[in-house]
Chains A and B, each alone.
Chain A
């Protein structure tokens, strides 16, 4: 990876903290629950490190907090996650599909949508790389 910019460093730091937190608090829960929490932690740390300048980060954080507050996090989150992560799910094509994928995409015009998508993709790829490297290092030391 190229020189890590401060944003990705922050993202990594926050994600790791969140990861340890999840492990500490939910070590007795099932793996699925923990996995879901880790996923939320990943999105949250990503959105947080992206900063409040971005509409998608604000929308994402808002969604996560709303879900956490309601204490029924999984229902809506699973639906949305499934929509985003479902295998070969044709949610929609074109701008509507993009709006559904990118958090906060419903409320902006096409131009801003494209812009937000670009930033979202950047941050998502950084997050994926980070998680991949954590998983790799975990497998290296034989814990995975």
Chain B
């Protein structure tokens, strides 16, 4: 398919872009093309990622943080573009807070926030012009900053929410122009400056990511790179250098993630130290991959049993209850009478859980089951055919569903 080819080519191009953009892609006004990539990039269910798009807000590109925001990344990324253009067109912003691209209003669902962002970004513009005049520039904005900081913190989407606490505010790096400003602001103001600078700094996100593509170790902080701004308060007796602040923030981020990993990997609660922890993680991942390989070899020997009783498989309750029987499995030759209802139940469960089981499919499955029961010896093959029909039907209905969506 020519579409696939061009998509694959653009996908390959985007590979570099993806890893270097850290989620914010100025080229990415073609959200449709990325959706196209998403949809093509799958041989199982081309449309499914589109379907789940509506539910999960999936998108080909992403902001590289564990995002708990309810807002879809697609919205975000489409609206980053206005933010980017906003930062670039600072002069236009200075005309007034009301003059904003209309898209931006979606982004925080609050027009006052938009106003504030505009005001503060224009403030940033002026401060960038003359860093020593920041006191004056800060004047008009200082009043409404405090009640809004928290609000802005919460609405700042998906950038640094690790556990959804919203306290995860990190400034990866600061521009040298704002150095002096930052020191003052960080000690005086709240989030506001950070948030406001978040928008203009998005355009520089790409620079940071490109600097970082060589896979740095944890402690290095790229100096030219900037990421989303978060307010960090320098603690008592600690260096207030912006670089060390950023580094400390980064270290905290890393330690949080290591803790999370510690919970994931079994038997690592007592391990202290990053190096040992890393080794444990590596061992665990390796063991998991080995298990997958081993199990796949094991499953290769299994005869095709078309059990789509997904829920039963996952819950294992049925398996435990009916040990020695195959009701949870579905269609097996050695069927016993009391299994019938159970398997029906299992099938109904499947129908409900998989969301693709049409009533037809369930009925056919049940009828084939009944056939099985009546004359297990002769009807097995017929039942098998029916099962395959059912599978095809579910497949087909699923594809129909895709087409509709």
Contact = CB atoms under 8 A, between A and B. Distances in A.
Contacts of B250: 111
Given A1-B314, A24-B304, A84 B295 contact: no
Nearest to A98: B282
B44 A45 contact: yes
Contact of A52 (B59, B299, B300, B311): B59
Nearest to B12: A62
B64 interface: yes
Interface in B249-271: 250, 253-254, 257-258, 260-261, 264-265
B284 interface: yes
B289 A101 contact: yes
B315 A1 contact: yes
Contacts of B133: none
A67 interface: no
B353 A127 contact: no
Nearest to A113: B215
B217 to A, nearest CB: 6
B310 A81 contact: no
Contacts of B284: 121
Interface stretch (B115-123, B134-142, B319-327): B319-327
Nearest to A40: B296
Interface in B342-400: 353-354, 356, 391, 395
A75 interface: no
Contact of A140 (B281, B282, B323): B323
A99 to B, nearest CB: 7
Contact of A12 (B65, B265, B310): B310
A93 B41 contact: no
Nearest to B67: A53
B313 A101 contact: no
Contacts of B340: none
Interface in B274-296: 275, 278-279, 281-282, 284-286, 288-293, 295-296
B307 to A, nearest CB: 7
A8 to B, nearest CB: 6
Contact of A134 (B290, B313, B356): B313
A94 B281 contact: no
A14 B398 CA distance: 12
B275 A94 contact: yes
A141 B264 contact: no
B15 interface: yes
B308 interface: yes
B103 interface: no
A81 B286 CA distance: 10
B113 interface: no
Contact of B42 (A17, A48, A99, A125): A48
B39 to A, nearest CB: 10
A12 to B, nearest CB: 4
A110 B290 CA distance: 25
B73 interface: yes
B41 A128 contact: no
Contacts of A70: none
B17 to A, nearest CB: 11
B33 interface: no
29 contacts: A9-B354, A14-B45, A16-B313, A24-B304, A32-B300, A39-B292, A39-B297, A42-B296, A52-B38, A52-B41, A84-B289, A85-B286, A107-B20, A107-B213, A108-B64, A109-B212, A110-B217, A114-B258, A117-B285, A122-B264, A129-B314, A133-B316, A134-B299, A138-B329, A140-B319, A140-B326, A141-B332, A143-B305, A144-B301
